[in-house]
Structure 1
Amino acid sequence: MNDVSPAIPASAEDRHATWLELFFDLVAVAGVAQIAHLLHGEPGAADLGLYVLLFLAFWTAWICFTLYGNVAGERTRARTVLAAMFGMAVMAAAVPGVHAGEDGQARALALAYILIRILANGAWRHRREILVDWPAAQMSLGVIPWIVSLWAHEPARYWLWALGIALDLYVTFTVSARDVIESRRAHDESRRSHDQREDTRSRRRDGMLPMSGAAPDADHLSERLGLFVIIVLGEGVAQMIEAASDATWDRRLYGLASAAFFLLVALWSLSFRHGYAGVPYLTARSLPARAALPLHCFVSGCLAALAAGLGAAAEHLDTLPESTRWLLCSSLAGYFLLTGIAALRQPDVVRRWLLSVVLPCCALPLLIAGFGAGLGTVAVVWLLVAVTLWPTFYESRRPRPVEPAARPGS
Structure 2
Amino acid sequence: MAAPGEAGRRVSWIELYFDLVFVFAVSQVAHVMVEHPDGRGVVAALGLFVTLWWTWIGYVILYNRYGEDSAAQRLFMLAGTIPCAIAATQAHVVSDVHLGGLALALAGARVVLAVAFPATSGQGHGAGRAAGLGYAVSAAIFAVSAVVPAPVNYVLWGVALAQEAGFLLLAQARQRRRSGDRTGRRRRPDRRELLAPPAEPGLAVNAPHLAERFNLFMIILLGEIVISVASAAVDAHGHEAGLRVGFLAGLVLAGALWWIYFDSSAGINEFVLRASGGNPAMAYGIYAGGHVPPAFGLLLIAAGVNLSLHDAPPTAATWFVSAGLAAYMVGTRGFTLGVERRWYARLLRTLVVVATVCLALLHRVVSAPTVVVLVAVWAVAVAALVTVRGPVVMRHLREHPLRFFADR
Q: TM-score if structure 1 supplies the norm length?
A: 0.75
Name the CA shift for 1:299/1:137 in 2 (closer, same or farther; >3 Å).
farther
Partner of 1:6: none
1:284 corresponds to which of 248, 253, 271: 271
Structure showing greater radius of gyration is 1
Q: Distance in 1 between matches of 2:391 and 2:82?
A: 51
Higher helix proportion, which one?
2
Partner of 1:115: 108
Partner of 1:194: none
Q: Does 1:46 align with 2:40?
A: yes
Q: Distance in 1 between matches of 2:56 and 2:221?
A: 14
Identity %: 24
2:374 corresponds to which of 383, 386, 392: 383
- Answer whether contact 1:343 1:349 (CA < 8 A) is retained: no
Partner of 1:89: 85
Q: TM-score if structure 2 supplies the norm length?
A: 0.75
Name the CA shift for 1:168/1:33 in 2 (closer, same or farther; >3 Å).
same
How far residue 123 of structure 1 moved from its aligned partner, in angstroms, is 1.4
Partner of 1:79: 75
- Answer whether contact 1:310 1:328 (CA < 8 A) is retained: yes
Counterpart of 2:319, as a letter, is: W
- Answer whether contact 1:120 1:138 (CA < 8 A) is retained: no
Counterpart of 1:303, as a letter, is: L
Q: Does 1:157 align with 2:164?
A: no
> Match of 2:81, SS?
helix
Query: Paired residues, what number?
Result: 350
Q: Deviations over 1:368-391 (max 9, x none)?
A: 234643331122112211221223
- Answer whether contact 1:357 1:394 (CA < 8 A) is retained: no
> Match of 1:87, SS?
helix
Q: Does 1:250 align with 2:240?
A: yes
Q: Does 1:302 align with 2:297?
A: yes
How far residue 392 of structure 1 moved from its aligned partner, in angstroms, is 3.3
Counterpart of 1:392, as a letter, is: A
Q: Distance in 2 between matches of 1:294 and 1:354?
A: 25
Partner of 2:399: none
Q: Distance in 2 between matches of 1:352 and 1:400?
A: 24
- Answer whether contact 1:35 1:54 (CA < 8 A) is retained: yes
Q: Does 1:240 align with 2:229?
A: yes
**Correspondences of 1:2-401 after superposition (within 5 Å):** 13=7, 15-71=9-65, 72-75=67-70, 77-101=73-97, 103=98, 106-126=99-119, 127=121, 129=124, 139-140=134-135, 141-169=137-165, 175-176=171-172, 213-247=202-236, 248-276=238-266, 282-286=269-273, 288-292=282-286, 293-316=288-311, 320-340=313-333, 346-347=337-338, 351=342, 354-355=345-346, 358-370=349-361, 372-394=363-385
> Match of 1:176, SS?
helix
Name the CA shift for 1:316/1:365 in 2 (closer, same or farther; >3 Å).
farther
Counterpart of 1:243, as a letter, is: A
How far residue 272 of structure 1 moved from its aligned partner, in angstroms, is 0.6
Unmatched tracts of structure 1, length 5 or more: 1-11, 181-210, 404-410
> Match of 1:73, SS?
coil
Name the CA shift for 1:16/1:371 in 2 (closer, same or farther; >3 Å).
same
Question: Which segment drifts farther, 373-382 or 57-66?
Answer: 373-382
CA RMSD in angstroms, aligned pairs only: 3.3
- Answer whether contact 1:144 1:164 (CA < 8 A) is retained: no
